[in-house]
Every structure is written in C-alpha cells, then in structure tokens.
Structure 1
Amino acid sequence: MTPLPDCYCPVDGTRVPGGSLVWCCPVCHGPLDLDFHPTPASLKSLTGRANSLWRYAETLPLATPSVSLGEGRTPLVPLRDGVSAKLDFLMPTLSFKDRGAVLLAELALRLEPRRVVADSSGNAGTAIAAYCARARLPCTVYVPEGTSAKKLEQIGAHGARLEVVAGDREAAAAAAREAADSAGTFYASHVFNPYFLHGTKTYVHELWEDLGGRLPDVLVLPVGNGTLLLGAALAVAELHGAGLIDRRPALYAVQAAAVAPLARAWQQGAEDLVGTTAAAPTLAEGIAIPRPPRARQILRAVRESGGIFVTVTEDQIRHAQRDLASTGLFVESTGVACWAAVREGVLGERSGVVPLCGAGMKSGLAEA
C-alpha cells in the first residue's frame, strides 16, 4: 500500500506524519493541508475509465477505492445566457459532500480507528454516515438543534449515532472536536481534514473533461466553510500547472447576506476575518458559518483568481429556488445561492458554471 502523504499547517508549517489520527495543527490548532502535488492525466487518457470521480486517480491521495458508491460524474446542463449547472444533487446521498466523504471513509479504513466522529448541519453528516456504513465503521454525527428533520432521518437511517447539540453550528463543531481528542477516534471533519478538499476538487476535474479540456470564465461557488471553493482552487492549480489549461477561471464566492463574514472581510480588504459575526437565521443554512476556520485560505484563493465575493438576500434565494424548480430542477435553498447571484447579473457577459449542491427534498421549498 502506498504510504500516506504528510499533512502540514499552512500557517506555521508544523508537519503531521501521514497515518496519524491528529486532526489539527498541534501548535495553532488550525486546519491542515496535504503535502501532495499530483499531475492530472491528459484528456485522451481518461477514455474508458470508471464512470466516477475515481477516474481521476492520479490526482487523488488514495487509490483502489473499496467504499465507492459511484459518486461523481454528475451531469452538466445548460441553464440560460451562457450559464450551465452541474447537478451535484444527483450524488448517492443527494449532495456534493459525497465527493469528500468517500475520501474520508477510505482514509479511516486505512487508519483503523475505534470510531469515527463528524459534525454537520446535515449534508456532510449524511454523506459521512453513508460512507461509514459502506465501510462498516462506527460513526457518531454531531448536529445543531434545528437541523432539518429529513436530514436527521437520513443520517440515522445509515446507522450513525446522532448527537443533537443545543446551540448553533459552531456548538456542534465544538462538541465533535472535544470527542475527537479521545484515543482511537478519527475526526471526519470536512473542514479540518484536507482529504475532503482533495475529494471536492474532482468537481472541477469533471468540468474540465465535460467541456473538452477547458474551463469557463467563472466558477460560481457557495461559501460557508469553503470546502468546494478550496477544492476547486486545488484542481485549477493542478490543471494549470500541468499545462492542461492556459488560463485560470475567476472564483466568485457566494454567501448569504444574513451570515457573510468572508464577504465583509473582502470588502474591507482584509486577509482574515474582521470583527465577529453572529449566527443568524437564513434559508442557506448550509453556508451560515460565522467563523470559518479556513478563512485566510478562502480569501487568498478568491483574490489570487481575480474573483469576487457576492451576497444574496433571503428573497433572492426564495426566487432562485422557484425559478430553478420551474425548469425541472428542485434544489435545496442553500444549493440555489449561486443561481441567485447569477440571476442578479454578476457574470455580465462572461461564461460560468454554478453547482446545484443539494436536493430540494432534503429541506423542502422555502416559504414565501
């Protein structure tokens, strides 16, 4: 079996050996990155490969999957005015989080922990519960009170133990991190564990293949903890570094106006979060993250791409969900945030792709 690459802290450079259950930097307690710099395969060499995200094996830190549910290779469909949508709600657990969860489950199998813990507002917990079930790993998912009953039902159906935490999304994360410090525990964090980002980056590798070896002018991406955006930035760097694209698309990061700490930092020209942001009710609950741990990385990735931050209101989210539903695409309210931004004209004459990240049946139609 190929040795696992080391992790390192992007802030202070502290290294953590591959194969360790350590889930954060031992010095600053921040998220880790992976010391892994792959070269993607050429477009022609992908012909005939597995019809899942594992077709991009050269770019993944783990090979020979044993828990795959056929995740990835979701359809790309045109919407209007040069904008297309990638239907990531057609994943096995009905959200894009399967891209990262399968990598976490594969990693956990190799590390052989006594148990797996995760925290989530719903979709990540569902994905991790499903892939742990596939891997026959005991799993506990910490969720904040007020999580959609449908998502709770889905997590429980996969056999995971549910811990409903009084308080908001950050309270659930704090409870999971406390549990993660116990011996023999693997913290399947979609925020702190870099393997998750190397799963989400396959979103862009698929786009590149779907578009015949190119990428659109703009990738419009929802941002809470930034796992899809940071994965996209990884893939763009890999493709550009290998000479497989000649220009990098701009990253347009979308936040709900009700909880937009990154957009506020961006507007002030800051390199990190500015002040404090309180949790507030929003239809885009999946991206309502007041203090994302990878804030500096997200801001830097958008800035270096020539992108921007955009915020959308609750009314814009409601209208976008109904607009997509009228075209046959029923997407949960968090998942329509990018389309809400595009409908407001943020792209101008530029081509773009939006991800539709979660199925509408997970949370229902937003009330008027």
Structure 2
Amino acid sequence: MTGTAIPTATYLCPQDGTRADVAAAHWCCPVCAGPWDLDIGARPPVRLDALNGRANSLWRYEEALPLAGPAVSLGEGRTPLVPLTGHVSAKLDFLMPTLSFKDRGAVMLAELARRLSPERVVADSSGNAGTAVAAYCARAGLPCTVYVPEGTSPEKTEQITAHGARLEVVPGDREATALAARAAAGAPGTFYASHVFNPFFLHGTKTYVYELWEDLGGTLPDAIAVPVGNGTLLLGAALATAELLAHGLIARRPALIAVQAEAVSPLAAAFRAGQDGLPPGRATATAATLAEGIAIPRPPRARQILAAVRESGGTFLTVTENQIRAAQRDLAARGLYVETTGVACWAAVGDVTDRSVVVPLCGAGLKTGTAP
C-alpha cells in the first residue's frame, strides 16, 4: 500500500454484521448506530527477527497495521518499559509527542483522514484524545474542531488550541460532549475522528502490546492492567493478543485487568453482576473523579469491553479517590509525574506479588496541573 492509498480494509458492525467501505461509510453503523470494527483481512505475522532496522516508532509493526507509509507520523510509540517492583513494570506512554498514549490511535485517524481529504475533522474528548487529534491534524494540514466538556483542565485546552484546532466547550459532562460532536459529524464533508467509534484508533492502540512483546523478547506478562473508560487501550490490547496468539507468536493470552474509578464504574458493576452489557437508557449524571479520562458513564463499546476481559480470564478493579491521590504521590516519589487518570492502574495493582503485570502510565502530570 502506498502512503496515499485508501485502505482496502472494510468496516464491520460487531452487532449486526453490516459491512461498509472505509472511503464512503458514515461514522457509525447505519443499522444499529453502533461503533464499527475493522476487517483488515489475512495478514502475515510480525516477526521479531524482521524488526531490526525498521522505523523506531509504532509503524515498525507494519504487517499488523491497516495503513502503511504514513505522512503524519511524529515518531510516536516505542516508549520505555521500566520496573516499579519485582512484579510490576510500567510502560511510559506519557512520553509520547503529545504526552499521552492517545497518540497511538490519533495518528491512525489523522492518516486516514488525510487520505480521504475531508473538508473538516471533528473530535470529542475529555482532553487527551482531542489534543492528540489536534496535533496530528496539524501535521496533516487538516482543519480540526475539538469538543470538550466544561471543566476540562486548562492545560489540555491550551494544548489543543496551540495546535491550531478550534475548541468547542460543551456545557455538561462527557456524554453531552460526545452528542454535540456526533451532531456536527453529520455535516457533509466532515470526518469524525472518534477514538471510540472509529476502529482505526484501536489498531493504533494495539501497538502498545506489540511493543511489550518485542521488549520482552517475544513474550508477554501474566497480566496487562489498563484504565478503562471508553476502553480504547483495552480493546487494542485484546486485538494484539488475539493476533499474536493466532500467529503462534505467544503461547497464551495474558489476563486483561480493567481499572475504573470507583466514582464512575459502570463496567465494573456490570462485570460483577454477570451482565453482558449495560442496562438500556441514557446515562445519568455521575460523581466527580480525579480520573477524568475514564469518567465515562455509558461507553458505546461496553459489550466488547466486558467480553474481552472475560475471554482473557481477567477482571475489573476499582480505585477510590484517596487511592488515586496516594498512587500519584507514590509515582512522583519514584521520579514519575503522571496525571491522575494515568495512575489508576498503579493504585489498583501496585502491591501484586503473585504474577507479572504491566501498567501504562498514560498521560503526563503536566496535563492536569493537579500536583500530588
């Protein structure tokens, strides 16, 4: 595939099987209005012995990616893996170009948008995804509008506008923000760079696990813990582990440990109740939490998230606000200043001693201005 080619992959609705061409499709399934998955067809495996000399970015795993030959890369990916205890290691994804793991998926969305040549790009976010989309759209030369909820940290909104994006502050919570962006996404000539509905984002976040696999010499830890709001990192991890297993590159899939703030934990409650999804109806107002990046009352991919955790043999854990504060202080004392959402997994699994676990430090502490 050339750097300007439209991808040959197709959108696939996981609920009703509807298929659509990537170049022509609406941002959601026209039948059920749910998010798309992506059928990228049969791909050759990524081989460890083939990686030497490749780009030192997530694009080195080209066999597994739906796009190749990117024009918008900022060198994202290949973040360090460092031990925190004898059993828990951290992947420092806050060292990405825009200081969060969202760059992994945003670069895919911006590269796709560049090839589709829309008149405008819109995105919605609690901050980090919007920042990443704004940066990569700037790199691609695409006009971009980012919708954020009121109360988003000034550090994040300043970063969004610094990249030249138009900022729309929406009264209300994250759910209201998503609805406003989706309304704008219906205008002709608009590309909705949704990190939730567009599966190209998930195929970017899956590189997190490919990097773990490479850095650990072709193995993975016993468990991978991820903070879960809309579940983009968890679902990307599920994609990668399934691909590696299917190609015989790992012997077993690690357990996926999904971490939510106790104040906003709809998925954890559904998991404990044995439910396959969330109850029908609109989300109600939620309690405030320091972990704003995962304060999602009704994630559109709830069923997929719950299924992925169960299939991996994993579980859901929740953390209190006091645990989040303590974990942020603890990491800062270890030399790692991480934003409050990014410390949730360390708060949940930092004392594990019976298996190997990797946690992502997803965003830099400078993004929130909340000192530990």
Give the alignment's TM-score, normalised by structure 1: 0.97
Q: 2:102 aligns with which of 80, 86, 97?
A: 97
Aligned to 1:350: 355
Is the CA contact (8 Å cut-off) linking 1:102 and 1:128 kept in structure 2? yes
Is the CA contact (8 Å cut-off) linking 1:283 and 1:366 kept in structure 2? no
Is the CA contact (8 Å cut-off) linking 2:106 and 2:132 kept in structure 1? yes
DSSP 3-state at the match of 1:80: coil
Q: Is 1:153 the counterpart of 2:151 in the alignment?
A: no
Counterparts of 1:120-139 in structure 2, within 5 Å, are 120-139=125-144
Change beyond 3 A, Cα 1:69–1:163? same
Aligned to 1:265: 270
Give the stretch that moved more between structures: 269-278 or 43-52: 269-278
Q: Is 1:249 the counterpart of 2:260 in the alignment?
A: no
Aligned to 1:223: 228
Aligned sequence identity (%): 74
Q: Is 1:299 the counterpart of 2:306 in the alignment?
A: yes
Cα deviation for residue 279 of structure 1 reads 1.9
Q: Is 1:27 the counterpart of 2:31 in the alignment?
A: yes
Cα deviation for residue 6 of structure 1 reads 0.9
Q: 1:80 aligns with which of 72, 75, 85?
A: 85
DSSP 3-state at the match of 2:61: helix
Aligned to 1:7: 11
Aligned to 1:315: 322
Q: 2:170 aligns with which of 165, 177, 180?
A: 165
Count of paired positions: 365
Cα deviation for residue 277 of structure 1 reads 5.1
Give the RMSD, CA atoms, in angstroms: 1.1
User: Which residue identity does 2:33 align to in structure 1?
Assistant: H
Is the CA contact (8 Å cut-off) linking 1:21 and 1:185 kept in structure 2? no
Cα deviation for residue 2 of structure 1 reads 6.0
Give the alignment's TM-score, normalised by structure 2: 0.96
Aligned to 2:367: 362
Is the CA contact (8 Å cut-off) linking 2:6 and 2:23 kept in structure 1? no
User: Which residue identity does 2:35 align to in structure 1?
Assistant: P
Cα deviation for residue 361 of structure 1 reads 0.4
Structure 1 regions of 5+ residues with no counterpart? Answer: none
**Matched residues in 2 for 1:348 and 1:222: separation?**
20
User: Which residue identity does 2:49 align to in structure 1?
Assistant: K
Cα deviation for residue 273 of structure 1 reads 1.0
Cα deviation for residue 226 of structure 1 reads 0.1
Q: Is 1:69 the counterpart of 2:74 in the alignment?
A: yes
**Matched residues in 2 for 1:350 and 1:53: separation?**
27
Deviations 1:49-93 (A, max 9, x none): 100000001111000010000000000000013110000000000
Q: 1:329 aligns with which of 317, 336, 342?
A: 336
Give the stretch that moved more between structures: 75-84 or 30-39: 30-39
DSSP 3-state at the match of 2:84: strand
